[in-house]
Amino acid sequence: MIARLLQHSVLRGFFLVAALTNTACSSLLDREFTPHARLSVTIPNSSATDKDRADQQGTLHVCPGTSVQLSWQIDGRSSLSAARGERYLAAQECLAVSEVASRGTGLFPTCQDSTTVFRATASHTLWRWYGACPGYGCPNADHEVIVGSSVTERVGGRPGDCVSGAFVVTNTRPALDWDDRYRVSTVSLGGLQVARTLEAIPGRTLTVRHDGKIATFRTGVTTSDVFHSGRVAGSWELVLSGCDSPPPALTINVEADCSR
Amino acid sequence: MAVLDAVRTIVIVMLENRSFDHMLGYLSLLEPKMAVDGLVAAPGSNTDYRRPLAKLLNDTYLNVSSSDGELHYPFHMADNPLTIDLPHDRHSVETQLGRQNSSGYFMEGFVDAYYSNCSTRMELVDPMGFFTSAEVPMMDFFARNFAVCERWFGPLPADTQPNRLMALSGETVIDRDLTLIPSTQPLMFDWLDPKGIDWCVYSDDLPFFTLFPKLWPKILTDSKHFRKFSTLTADVLNVSAASPFPKVVFIEPSFLDSPFHPDHDPNDDHPILPVGFGESFLRQIYQALTPAQNLTLWKQMVMIVTFDEHGGFYDHVSPLFPVSANCGTGNTAFQSTGARVPAFVVSSFASAGQVYHQNLDHTSMLEFVAEWLTPGEPYSPAVADRLAQPGFNTGRGRGKLSDVLDLLPRPRQAAPNEPTRVIQAVRSMFGKKMARTPNEQAFEQAARGMIQRYPAEVAQKYPELMHWQQNS
């Protein structure tokens, strides 16, 4: 069989894998190897409650120099890696691929001042040796951690029906996803579409409620410091008065930095 | 002579699982723009669409993730193999379409559906990705040199099999992918054969029709009706008045869901495949159908290129509704079409750069076939009833494929030259793979069944399948 493998590998690389799958053990591999990876990432200093932690989490935002807690569950041969940079933009490895136990947790540094994508990979010795995965089953679970000393976060959503003379959108940011050191600096209208909606109808307002505070936007009032020093995490409620001509979405931009 | 008599052949190419905005939305976003209902940037938005700042693209396309509240907008994605296949079963499509009002669905749950199927969390999340001419040069070529149908909908908000069955018969006996399609399902061949209309399937691998056991003998031994794609070039070169091409031709890609791909990557565009393989396949088809040495077929041909369904990728246009469709005993009838899919009419009878705005879906092909081959008679009551439903008259109204052929009966004489640059795609699979989804299992079961019942014939036509079966 070895001679057969070598011959194939020299002639046409991809037949090597085909040959491997065509050995007597291939059905065993199929049965016992169902590639699957799950990865969750949490911020150790997060103020998230246990209830928050029970919820499914999203993209994380952390201040530079923060390490994050990774928990993984990977069927098949397991490895972790991390890449620096936003997706599709010349990502560079900043944490070498390292093999890990199929289940575990650990504290990992983020790439210095750069968005970091942690990747859990399910693989198998043979496929790893060859440098490829069987078929299309070699799933990765990617989890993006956005690292920055400041952040502009767009908050809002699509309005539904007009109820009691207003469109209401509620957008909740889980505490689990936000480094507690981020503090809001200013809040502004999210894009021209919202501003135009306010300009089009005299007296129309966009009221924003968050963290027990209220800011009101109208024509000529497009930024607010009301939420200064507050947390990003929590519920943001946006209320647009009037039922005419809603914009496609109600959105605001929340500027925050690691000032704490 | 009726105008449609100038058409001698219809070629149907149906790839897999991509939405209109995902593949062609860039046509209205990037120069030189075309007047399609695709993606449009809001004034002042960032133009680096690969960055999360593409968030500013346009609030019209906003999808909010319920789990973390993050806002997601379309972005320019790279043509890499995807991490997972995007969810696109009936339940997931319901999530993707989201809320609805009298104007239509909100198209707001694409990220939610994706997140419910994997633990990946990214700002730029796959279902919101779109390509540009750099990734889809053949589609760009088709759009600018022939007709693009901007409101062609997958017929059902469901996955592969029900949508393909609608394309092949105008009705479906199932509402989701199954490992075995019931034998009661009709096919277009059942309509063509009694009328003596010649047809042929060219397949690059196992055709979708392998899922129909009644067709196995034909697939394996009837070389008139089931031919390998590799013979297409020679067959077209031999076309003449005395030796016409079949009237109805299906060209089938190599399906990702097929159990074995012996010598090249699948090219049906089904995620997690990159689309480069499908683009390459479209170029091979176009080159085979338009040989400089013999343009006889080209001057008489209408080729439809489309996708079975949106595959879980974002599209901003609401499906048509109400459009009810029965889908088998015990299943709840569908109440709308699926999302839009890319669709082209590639023909010497279609003017270059035409954008067709009216509503079409896969059953419009059947309507066209009947209008052309049995004038005055509808394809079937099911197709006629479906296309008469109020939903098809929303927007700019119901379309007819024959209206796209605006140059009839005088065809363009020359076939435009296709792009010749190298189309790159990242290889991501080798040989065998495991069947996980119902459609993969259906292919695998069909292959095993065919081998069991017709071993000698399979060994003759698909020897690689015997090899696969012996070792799996």
Q: DSSP 3-state assignment of B128?
A: helix
Least confident of A96-110, B6-20, B261-275: A96-110
Q: Which CATH number fits domain A150-257: 2.60.120, 1.10.287, 3.30.70, 2.60.40?
A: 2.60.120
pLDDT tens digits for B11-20? 999 999 999 9
- How many residues in chain A? 260
Q: Where in chain A is the domain with CATH 2.60.120?
A: 150-257
CA-based nearest distance A74→chain B, Å: 12
The answer as to whether B446 is a domain residue is no
Q: Give the position of tokens 């947790």.
A: A105
What is the overall mean pLDDT for chain B? 92
Question: What distance in Å separates the CA atoms of residue B302 and residue A127, rounded to the nearest whole number?
Answer: 45
Query: For residue B107, what are its two tokens?
Result: 């198209």
Give the ranges where A60-171 is alpha helix by DSSP (H).
125-130
Query: Which of A133, A144, A172 is opposite residue B121, by nearest beta carbon?
Result: A144
Least confident of A71-80, A85-94, B347-356: A85-94
B22: nearest Cα among B276, B342, B321, B462: B342
Query: Which of these three, B372, B404, B436, is where a domain ends?
Result: B404
Question: Do B156 and B102 belong to one domain?
Answer: no
Question: Do B119 and B170 belong to one domain?
Answer: no
The answer as to whether B293 is a domain residue is yes
Q: Does B432 contact A58 at a Cβ distance shorter than 8 Å?
A: no
What is the overall mean pLDDT for chain A? 75
Contacts of B124 in chain A (CB under 8 A): 86-88
Range B28-41 average pLDDT: 95
Contacts of A26 in chain B (CB under 8 A): 432, 471-472
CA-based nearest distance A135→chain B, Å: 4
With contact defined as beta carbons under 8 Å apart, do B137 and B339 qualify? no
- What pLDDT score was predicted for residue B116? 86
**Burial of B435 by CB count in 10 Å (0-12 exposed, 13-18 middle, 19+ buried)?**
buried
User: What percent of chain A lies above the pLDDT cut of 90?
Assistant: 32
Domain that holds residue B123: 34-130
**If one looks up domain A34-147 in CATH, what number appears?**
2.60.40
Interface test with B, best of A158, A167, A235, A237 (most B CBs within 10 A): A158
User: What percent of chain B lies above the pLDDT cut of 90?
Assistant: 79
- Number of domains composing chain B: 2
Q: Does B272 contact A136 at a Cβ distance shorter than 8 Å?
A: yes
Return the higher-pLDDT residue of B426 and B433: B426
- What pLDDT score was predicted for residue B437? 85
Query: Is the confidence metric ipTM above 0.90 for this complex?
Result: no
Question: What distance in Å separates the CA atoms of residue B331 and residue B178, rounded to the nearest whole number?
Answer: 13
Contacts of B115 in chain A (CB under 8 A): 56
The answer as to whether B471 is a domain residue is no
pLDDT band, very low/low/confident/very high, at A13 (cuts 50, 70, 90): very low
Question: What distance in Å separates the CA atoms of residue B113 and residue B96, rounded to the nearest whole number?
Answer: 6
Q: DSSP 3-state assignment of A148?
A: coil
Question: Do B182 and B323 belong to one domain?
Answer: yes
Question: Do B61 and B142 belong to one domain?
Answer: no
Quick one: angle between helices B438-453 and B160-169, nearest 10?
Answer: 60
Predicted TM-score of the model (pTM)? 0.90
Q: Does B69 contact A171 at a Cβ distance shorter than 8 Å?
A: yes
Q: Does A134 contact B427 at a Cβ distance shorter than 8 Å?
A: no
A82: nearest Cα among A96, A102, A103, A100: A96
Q: Does A249 contact B124 at a Cβ distance shorter than 8 Å?
A: no
- What pLDDT score was predicted for residue A57? 66
Q: Write out residues 93-112 of B within 8 Å (CB-CB) of A.
A: 99, 101, 106, 108
Q: Where in chain A is the domain with CATH 2.60.40?
A: 34-147
Q: Evaluate if residue B439 carries a pLDDT over 50.
A: yes
Q: Does A141 contact B51 at a Cβ distance shorter than 8 Å?
A: no
What is the CATH classification number for the domain harbouring B189? 3.40.720
The answer as to whether B259 is a domain residue is yes
The A206-210 sheet, strands edge to edge: A166-173, A234-241, A206-210, A213-217
* C-beta atoms surrounding B181 within 10 Å: 21
**Burial of B287 by CB count in 10 Å (0-12 exposed, 13-18 middle, 19+ buried)?**
middle
* DSSP label at residue B121: B
Question: What distance in Å separates the CA atoms of residue B80 and residue A140, rounded to the nearest whole number?
Answer: 13
